[in-house]
Amino acid sequence: MEKLNISRLKEIVGEKNVKDDPADLYIYGTDASVHQAMPWAVVRPENAGQVQEIMRYANSEKIPVIPRGSGSGMCGQTVPVNGGIILDMKRMNKILEINLEDVYCRVEPGVIDDDLNKALKPYNVFFPPTPASSIIATIGGEIANNASGVRSVKYGAARDSLLGVKLVLASGDMISFGTTTRVEASGYQIERIIAGSEGTLGVIVEATLKFVPLPTIRCLGMTNFNKLEEAGDSISEIMASGCTPSMLELVDNVAIKAINNALKLNLPDVDAILIFEADGMVKEAVDFEITKIKDICETHGGFGTELSFDEKERERIYTGRKKLFPSLSKYKELMPSTSLADDMTVPYSKMAETTRKIHEIAKQNNIIMSAYGHCGSGCMHTKILMDTTKSESWKAAEKAVAQIYEYVNSVGGTTSAEHGIGISKAPAFKIEKAASLELMRGIKKAFDPNNILNPGKLQDASDDWLNATKLRYTVSDKCE
């Protein structure tokens, strides 16, 4: 910290855009994960030129720089494990161009997802990756984590909507890759590795994104299942049936109970619920798909199906799923939901089995875990509900996390579907990618020879997430 020259930073971005007050640093030292660490300063650049100057300074002094959007990451991606400068990108929030003729837009990284979609809406188009956190998530963060959400089953993740990036490297050099066009084969596709690189390869200062027509017709459905396996069989059959649902969500019994406790929705206390949506421009086509999905669910034992084209009704049906995330902490008193084993991907034929396995592992370790997710793309989310004040809960969580990813690996899945790796999923990631860690380190070095960009993450993260940083929770019985 002693080597940080605050006045140099103030020269670059102006006095009021540098923060080194402990209260501010504390806020910027955590995100939506369990981790916490103090940065040395927070710097808020306004344009790419300032980012270049900051990087040149930091690179010459070998000071860590951690690019950050809204800090909504779930795994500690922006937690500064080695201190350094937090580069808050939220002031770079301009939508630079919306080009309808060539169907792309150019944005700065600090643009909030919902704001972009608001700007696109008058043209009847939308940017589809939209994670659940779209009200705060920035486009830069979404690209860096290759984020996605409920509609990705039909429209893909951030990487799939990314046409090009402008990037400031650790050296301060600015490069741009990709085009405004759809097809390209000129050299290595750098934009594709930037998506998912978690701020370790460069600072995104501009992104070119494609958008797609906003469907005029949507129909949402919800079906109950007495057995998880019936829901699982329905998922595989729906996906192979020729339907392209715009949403296909699985909600397990733990989540159903939590939603009922929190929102008093009186959802049936069943083993699993599937929520599905079809969208399009032609009523007949949407009808055709939604009926097919409903029929498949009911053949496999789905019952009490609700269906609606009406916007208000659709909102009502979706309420529980929408508020699932905050509801989870209401499952049981003093059992807050922690972001651990928060996401994974398995082949969709394994969704039901994975859910069972998660419950089994939770039981073995005396904790509670909920499983839900975007099952049309094999994405499963869990949360661990536990008494965070007790160190034994954390020990149990540590064991459960390891067991879950061992299972995910054994069925050909991967450690993260859409939340990224950061710190808390790094041990599992390093086991999964053991054969390619050296190659990844080589790639990191090609971009960032001095290892100043978000160091200590991904392949360079600790093998022990529990002790990699302080925890954001107070553990009362911990012997320090």
Partner 1 sequence: MNNKNSNRMVEISGIIAGAIGPGKVLTDKDILDKYSRDETADLSLLPDILVRARDTSDVSAVLKICNDNNIPVTPRGAGSGVTGGALAARGGVILSLELLNKIIEIDCENMVAVVEPGVITGDIRRAALTMGLLYPPDPASLDICSIGGNVAENAGGPMAVKYGTTKDYIIGLEFVLPDGSVITTGGKIVKNATGYNLIGMLLGSEGTLAVITKIFLRLVPAPGASKDILIPFDTIDEAIDAVGAILRNRIVPSALEFMEEDAIKLVSKFFSGNIPFPDAGAHLLIKIDGSSDDSILSDMEHISEIINVDPEKIIAAESDIQRDKLWKARRSIREAIHLEDPAFMAEDCVVPRAAIPAFVKELKKFFEIRGLKSIMFGHAGDGNVHVDVLRSGRGYDEWKMLQPSLKEGIYKMAISMGGTITGEHGIGFSRKDYLHLALSCDEIELLKRIKKAFDPKMILNPGKIFSDDHKEPDDSPPC
Subset of residues 404 to 423 that bind partner 1, contact rule: CB under 8 A = 412-421
Indicate whether 271 belongs to the interface with partner 1 (CB under 8 A).
no
Measured distance CA(387)–CA(392) in Å, rounded: 9
| Whether 241 contacts 193, CB under 8 Å | no
Indicate whether 180 belongs to the interface with partner 1 (CB under 8 A).
yes
User: At closest approach, how far in Å is the CB of 415 from partner 1?
Assistant: 5
Q: Which region, judged by CB under 8 A, interacts with partner 1, from 4-12, 24-32, 197-205, 362-370?
A: 197-205
Strand (E) positions, 357-428? 368-374, 379-385
Indicate whether 130 belongs to the interface with partner 1 (CB under 8 A).
no
Q: List the interface residues with partner 1, window 133-162 (CB under 8 A).
A: 145-148, 152, 156-157, 159-160
Measured distance CA(100)–CA(103) in Å, rounded: 5
Indicate whether 280 belongs to the interface with partner 1 (CB under 8 A).
yes
The phi, psi pair for 303, rounded to 5°, reads: -145, 165
Q: Which region, judged by CB under 8 A, interacts with partner 1, from 82-90, 94-102, 255-263, 383-391?
A: 94-102
Q: Quick one: which of 11, 445, 464, 476 contacts partner 1 (CB under 8 A)?
A: 445
User: At closest approach, how far in Å is the CB of 131 from partner 1?
Assistant: 11
Indicate whether 72 belongs to the interface with partner 1 (CB under 8 A).
no
Copy the structure tokens of residue 384. Answer: 């661990």
Q: List the interface residues with partner 1, window 95-114 (CB under 8 A).
A: 99-103
Q: Which region, judged by CB under 8 A, interacts with partner 1, from 2-10, 252-260, 304-312, 374-382?
A: 374-382
Q: How many residues bind partner 1 (CB under 8 A)?
A: 91
Whole-Å CA distances, 131 to 41, 141, 204, 480:
29, 11, 19, 38
Indicate whether 289 belongs to the interface with partner 1 (CB under 8 A).
yes
Q: List the interface residues with partner 1, window 313-352 (CB under 8 A).
A: 343, 345-349
The smaller minimum CB distance to partner 1, of residues 78 and 146, is found at 146
Q: Which among 130, 117, 97, 108 is positioned nearest to 45, based on CA atoms? A: 108
The smaller minimum CB distance to partner 1, of residues 446 and 479, is found at 446
Q: Quick one: which of 20, 46, 115, 184 contacts partner 1 (CB under 8 A)?
A: 184
| Whether 121 contacts 92, CB under 8 Å | no
Q: Which region, judged by CB under 8 A, interacts with partner 1, from 81-89, 110-118, 196-204, 294-302?
A: 196-204
Indicate whether 300 belongs to the interface with partner 1 (CB under 8 A).
no
Copy the structure tokens of residue 81. Answer: 């494990």
β-strand partners of 317:
none
The smaller minimum CB distance to partner 1, of residues 283 and 478, is found at 283
Rg over alpha carbons for the chain, rounded to the nearest Å, is 22
User: At closest approach, how far in Å is the CB of 189 from partner 1?
Assistant: 5
Whole-Å CA distances, 278 to 113, 272, 290:
22, 20, 6
User: At closest approach, how far in Å is the CB of 239 from partner 1?
Assistant: 6
Indicate whether 242 belongs to the interface with partner 1 (CB under 8 A).
yes
Q: List the interface residues with partner 1, window 14-33 (CB under 8 A).
A: none
User: At closest approach, how far in Å is the CB of 417 from partner 1?
Assistant: 4
Read off the amino acid at residue 418.
E
The residues, any chain, with a CB within 8 Å of residue 205's CB and separated by 6 or more, are 48, 51, 92, 108, 109, 166, 167, 168, 174
The smaller minimum CB distance to partner 1, of residues 322 and 433, is found at 433
Q: Quick one: which of 59, 133, 134, 197 contacts partner 1 (CB under 8 A)?
A: 197
Q: Is the dihedral of CA 200, 202, 203, 204 positive or negative?
A: negative
Report the chain's terminal Cα–Cα distance, integer Å. 24
Indicate whether 117 belongs to the interface with partner 1 (CB under 8 A).
no
Q: Quick one: which of 56, 91, 192, 399 contacts partner 1 (CB under 8 A)?
A: 192
| Whether 209 contacts 107, CB under 8 Å | yes
The smaller minimum CB distance to partner 1, of residues 14 and 412, is found at 412
Indicate whether 240 belongs to the interface with partner 1 (CB under 8 A).
yes
| Whether 166 contacts 175, CB under 8 Å | yes
Q: Which region, judged by CB under 8 A, interacts with partner 1, from 65-73, 256-264, 279-287, 332-340?
A: 279-287
Helix (H, G, I), strand (E, B) or coil at 342: coil
Q: Quick one: which of 15, 284, 477, 480 contacts partner 1 (CB under 8 A)?
A: 284
The phi, psi pair for 349, rounded to 5°, reads: -65, -10
Burial status of residue 346 (CB atoms within 10 A of its CB: 0-12, 13-18, 19 or more) = buried
Q: Which among 325, 224, 295 is positioned nearest to 266, based on CA atoms? A: 224
